[in-house]
Amino acid sequence: MAFAYFPHTEDDIRAMLERIGVSSLEDLYSDVPEDVIYRDQYDLPDAMSEHEVRKYFDDIAAQNRQMLCLCGLGAYDHYSPAVISHIISRSEFLTAYTPYQPEVSQGTLRYIFEYQSMIAELTGMDCTNASMYDGATAAAEAVMMAMASTKKKKRVLISETLLPQVMNVVRTYARYNGIELGFVPSHEGVTSYGALLTELAAGDVAGVLVPGINRYGIIEDLTGFADAVHAQKGLLIVYSDPSSLAVIKTPREWGADIACGDAQTLGVPMCFGGPYIGFLACMKDHVRKLPGRIVGATHDVDGKRAYVLTLQAREQHIRREKATSNICSNQSLMALYVTVYMSLMGPHGLRQVNELSYGGAHYLHDRLMDTGLFKEAFDKPFLKEFTLKSLVPVKALQEALAAAGIFGAVEVEDGLVNFCVTEKVSKEDIDKVINVVKEVKA
Amino acid sequence: MAKTVDGLYYSESHEWVKVEGNVALVGITDFAQHSMGDLSYVDMPEVDDQLEAGEEFGAVESVKAASDLYSPVSGTVIEINEELEDSPELLNQDAYANWIMKVDMSNPAELESLMDASAYDAMCQGN
Amino acid sequence: MKYYDKLIFDLSKDGKQGYSLPSSKWSASVGELPSGLCRTVAPELPQVSELDVVRHYTNLSQMNFGVDTGFYPLGSCTMKYNPKINEEIAAHRAFASLHPLQPASSVQGVLKIYRELSRALSAITGMAEFTLDPFAGAHGELTGLMIIRQYHVSRGDLKRTRIIVPDSAHGTNPASAAVCGLEVVQVKSNASGLVDVEDLKPLLDDTVAGIMMTNPNTLGLFEKDIRNIASLVHECGGLLYYDGANMNPLMGVVRPGDMGFDVLHLNLHKTFSTPHGGGGPGAGPVGVAAHLVSHLPVPKVMEAEDGTFYIADGACRCPSAPEGAGVFGKECGCMPDCVCGCQSCGQISGFMGNFGVLLRAYTYILMLGRQNIRMVGPLSVLGANYIKESLKDSFRLPVPGVCKHEFVFDGLMDQSTEVTTLDIAKRLLDYGFHAPTIYFPLLFHQSIMIEPTETESKETLDGFIEIMKHIAAEAATDPETLKTAPHTTPVRRLDEITAARQPVLQYKDMCI
């Protein structure tokens, strides 16, 4: 029986072998030593029909629990409008490669240019790439970029209020790349400005990475940070949730040189952690050190407006061992998610998403406090996620919620639990949560 | 065929040096600009940078290539050619009329190890 | 394809919105936040209706070439057909709605897929264990090199900081090595286009961490000395890294583990049929031999004795470990073969890789099954050799003989015309084919690298061969048409120099 993905008939194979001048498919491997050819049976299942595959995954899907999501911490349950999945399924986008031949890739190039423009609007920065895998790796690239931009410095400072996974990934990259990391401790739930100044005093710092909204959900006040970092010729890197930037102060307004973060919040489903898209944006002065693919506007020989991958001399395939990043992805399809999402939402829609999330999160926060089972951990301004100190055992709290189909109260640190509310959560949902919580025994 | 100018010193990595007192004007040769094609960007050092002979001090970029620049002499960068920031094509138009940086030499004796125009010509033709 | 000139911003009109949200019934409002924490001016995002959005992006899509629109012979990119069932499974809402931090008990199905896919990849490649965390091929390379460094460090062998990379390697190899803090040493190719073993020998000493190999290499040639190279590198204490970018011709025929490789990455978006999506997202799982399992990144999915699955996060769980010790690489006194994660090279992704891409690849493997997987490699090699033999009189073939999944021409056979590889590539676009990879590998001046894949029919290949011959003839009779090609695409050759000299990188820059 013919297999659907192989279009060759037996006659085709014979005719092709004849043209090549060999007698069998096996002869095409005559240059491969016999002792590395694998002749055993592959330890794989028998081939399935599409129907069987569907059933197989339906069964596996049923072994997961769909829960009401009240967790943030780097992945957010925002709504992804139906238009997005329709657009991203178009074969012309889905089955294209990186746009190396611009004459037949204007679709991809155009939406990446739009993506760059929209991220620039949200962050206030001048230039963006579309090449980062996720927020954590974008932060690691930002740190390496700061090192490359400030040639003679050896150290990068990162705030201990960053999301744990962002800190972990930055630590891993720094360790192998040879970057010395310093850690700025938190003070009352936010990055300690005093500790930062102490760390900066040595004058050897290439960059400082701090969150706009931190691991506790607190919106950090970064007043004075940029001046302090710039005074010793380092770069300020701000890690942000781009959805929140429709309302909260932008990296540009804080005086950042580089902005990074995860754009999952802009229409990308949670999908157990990926695929997402990180963003990495910078001010013009640093664009030559920005890794990844960048699209620029130009024109063709007939004067038509057209778009092309530009500033390619920065990239790994040209610099090889002199490259400061090995990125060759163009996280293109995920950039399309984000671009279509922002087009649909517009400035008012994105503000409204924040408005609804803020309102719901504060309602949940206040009702939880009313139960008497929680204490404020820090009592600082937050947007859609917050941290409380649980007065009941965290495990009991989580289990009671889980039993009711609710995922929340993830423990950030000893006794401190995270809650997050997006525009998808209703008042009825929250009232149900409160009823469950009230039953947890101290 | 690529041009050379008499009276300049030349390095194997295709930089030229023009000496004015203790100051070395450094640029790239006509051969270098020609093999790179249309230049789109010149990455320059900063004033006060200390350079050793043979040390990388910047790069030239075209649309699909990049080539590092190596200082032929040791010393301190005292000036960079800011015109090249906006107009890298000047190097394509006349590589010898447009220096990239001026270096206050710390060891002018290093000039002796560089080539003159005819030796450099011969090296390029051998390539 | 038709030209359409708008940006979404051009369609914007104040007051429109493409998605309807309810007005807020909550009593709290963003307006309560201290003004010092709020942005001062709203972002200028487009304001358009839902139909505006749908039409705009549909129009954009029609200026794009994809595997579904035509033959895409891009060398080293393995542009095979992307089966539609993969997409359907990946879009399953039951997977799309899962938060990555959900308790393991609520995502047993997902974790089972991680384990099953890992096992399938082990079976296909002959490696002991996989991590599915890396997001892309380059990310897999970086992860693999971190594992190699961690291996040497865990043995107290600290001076191994050099990595050998062949001159024919993809540019990403040396770039990944540099990012991983390794010094790159190049080994030359010999006249047959293979790694020169005599050039390799003197490089092997106690500073070598390993060698990165692509096999078949970027010329599409099988490195037939691989077993010899493996023993030389192993004898000097180094490890062998396999760049899986060119795994497709070996799938179902040769397992990298059997060639002596210690670490490899696979490009699921190449060999395992997940769509390229315009350059991403992909996935770059890394497989290791048994002696490296403890150095895989965290988090990783583990199977408990009772058959349930859990996630190891890198914290040391060994009974003897002091509290808080052993978070990847920290001292906890464990043996190097400890598998709980404390000997890991670290965390390299925010969560656990591109799950959506993993689902597609696993769907493909289940469709292939143990039977059809045998034919993937041979049919891809058949197509490449068929094109090569059919065109070798019109184009220069620098290395004759049987190739694997791809091969390289060095420009036209007739060198008397001014026609370059770029011109040939652009002319192909006029005839409805995507261009091959051009000017790579760097070993030749006019490289044209062609890879057809096993999913292209003889009819498609015959059509391509005919057009390539026609273009070779045009080069002699009508070079001007080639030099000014393409002529029929939505836009023609672009001014790339102005784009690089005066970068216009966002909409606002255009308006100035």
Q: How far apart are CA A349 and CA B126, in angstroms?
A: 66
Q: What is the pLDDT of residues C94-136, one digit of tens each?
A: 999 999 999 999 999 999 999 999 999 999 999 999 999 999 9
Q: Which domain holds residue B22?
A: 9-107
Cα(A409)–Cα(C132) distance, integer angstroms: 28
Those of residues 110-129 in A touching chain C at CB distance below 8 A are 110-114, 116-118, 120-122, 126-128
**pLDDT at residue C338, as a whole number:** 59
In-domain check, residue C285:
yes
Please tell me the pTM assigned to this model: 0.96
| pLDDT, position A364 | 98
- Cα dist. A330→C62, C137, C506 in Å? 20, 12, 17
Query: For residue B10, what are the contacts with CB-CB under 8 A and spacing of at least 6?
Result: B4, B16, B17, B29, B114, B115, B116, B117, B119, B120
Distances (CA, A) of A338 to A126, B125, C42: 18, 53, 18
Distance CA C430, CA C487 (A): 6
Query: CA end-to-end span of chain A, whole Å?
Result: 65
Mean pLDDT of B46-57: 92
Q: Which residues contact C78 (CB under 8 A, 6 or more apart)?
A: C245, C248, C267, C270, C271, C405, C451, C453
The CATH number of whichever domain residue B31 belongs to comes to: 2.40.50.100
Residue B62, pLDDT > 90, answer: no
- Neighboring chains of B (3 or more beta-carbon pairs < 8 A): A, C
A 241-300 residues with CB < 8 A to C: 245-250, 253, 262, 269-277, 287, 293-300
Q: Does A201 touch chain C (CB under 8 A)?
A: no
C443 is a domain residue: no
| Cα–Cα dist A220/A427, whole Å | 28
pLDDT on residue A442: 66
Q: Which domain holds residue C264?
A: 84-358
Residue C502 makes CB contacts below 8 A (sequence gap 6+) with none
What is the strand order of the sheet A258-262 is part of? Answer: A127-128, A278-282, A258-262, A235-240, A205-211, A155-159, A180-184
Tell me which fold the domain A83-341 belongs to: Aspartate Aminotransferase; domain 2 (3.40.640)
Number of domains chain B is built from: 1
pLDDT for B69-79, tens place per residue?
999 999 999 99
Query: Is the CB of residue A49 less than 8 Å from the CB of residue A412?
Result: no
Res B119 pLDDT > 50: yes
Under an 8 A CB cutoff, do C501 and B61 touch?
no
The whole-angstrom separation of Cα A102 and Cα A342 is 25
Task: Output the pLDDT for position C154.
Answer: 85
pLDDT band at C341 (very low <50, low <70, confident <90, very high): low
Among partner residues C108, C112, C279, which is closest to A98 by beta-carbon distance?
C279
In three-state secondary structure terms, C480 is helix
d(CA C307, CA A88): 37
The CATH number of the domain holding residue C246 is: 3.40.640.10
Answer whether the bond into residue C216 is a cis peptide, omega within 30°: yes
pLDDT of C351 reads 97
Collapsed DSSP state (helix, strand, coil) of residue B48: coil
- Residues of chain A in contact with residue B68, where contact means CB-CB under 8 angstroms, are 322
C145 to A3: CB separation less than 8 angstroms, yes or no: no
pLDDT of C320: 60
Per-10-residue mean pLDDT, chain A, length 442: 93 98 97 96 97 98 96 98 97 96 97 98 97 98 94 91 96 93 96 97 96 98 98 97 98 98 97 97 94 95 95 76 87 98 98 98 98 96 98 96 97 95 97 96 72
Rounded CA-CA distance B111/B17 in Å is 9
Q: Distance between CA C193 and CA C215 in Å, rounded? A: 12
Taking an 8 Å cut-off on Cβ atoms, the answer to whether A313 and B68 are in contact is no
CA–CA min distance C79, chain A (Å): 8
Residue C435 counted as domain residue: no
Q: Does ipTM surpass 0.95 in this model?
A: yes
- Whether chain B has a CB inside 8 Å of the CB on A284: the answer is no
Supply the CATH classification number for the domain A68-78+346-438: 3.90.1150.10
* Nearest CA-CA distance, residue A312 and chain B, Å: 6
Helix (H, G, I), strand (E, B) or coil at C421: helix
Contact B63, C497 (CB under 8 A): yes
Closest C-alpha to A293, from A276, A279, A272, A305: A279
CA distance A175 to chain B (A): 25
Nearest CA in chain A to B58: A151
Residue B96's pLDDT is what?
A: 94
Q: Please tell me the total number of residues recorded for chain C in this structure.
A: 512
Q: What is the pLDDT of residue B64?
A: 77
Q: Is the pLDDT of residue C325 over 50?
A: no
3-state secondary structure of C182: coil
State residue A89's pLDDT score: 96
**Measured between CB atoms, which of A74, A92, A346 is closest to C66?**
A92
- Pick from C322, C330, C327, C290: nearest CA to C312: C327
Position C329 confidence tier, pLDDT thresholds 50, 70, 90: very low
Amino acid residing at A134:
D
The reported pLDDT for the residue numbered C333 is: 56
Residue C269 domain-assigned? yes
What is the model's pLDDT at position C1?
82
Report domain extents, chain A: 68-78+346-438, 83-341
Element containing residue A52 per DSSP (H, E): helix A50-61
Beta-carbon contacts below 8 Å between A and C: 689
| Region C199-210 average pLDDT | 97
- DSSP annotation of B1: -
Q: What is the pLDDT of residues C88-99, one digit of tens each?
A: 999 999 999 999
pLDDT at res. A140: 98
Q: How many other β-carbons are positioned within 10 Å of the β-carbon of residue A426?
A: 14
What chain A residue is nearest to B49 in terms of C-alpha separation? A152
DSSP letter for C296, please: S
Which chain A residues touch C26 with a CB distance below 8 Å?
356, 358-360, 362-363, 427
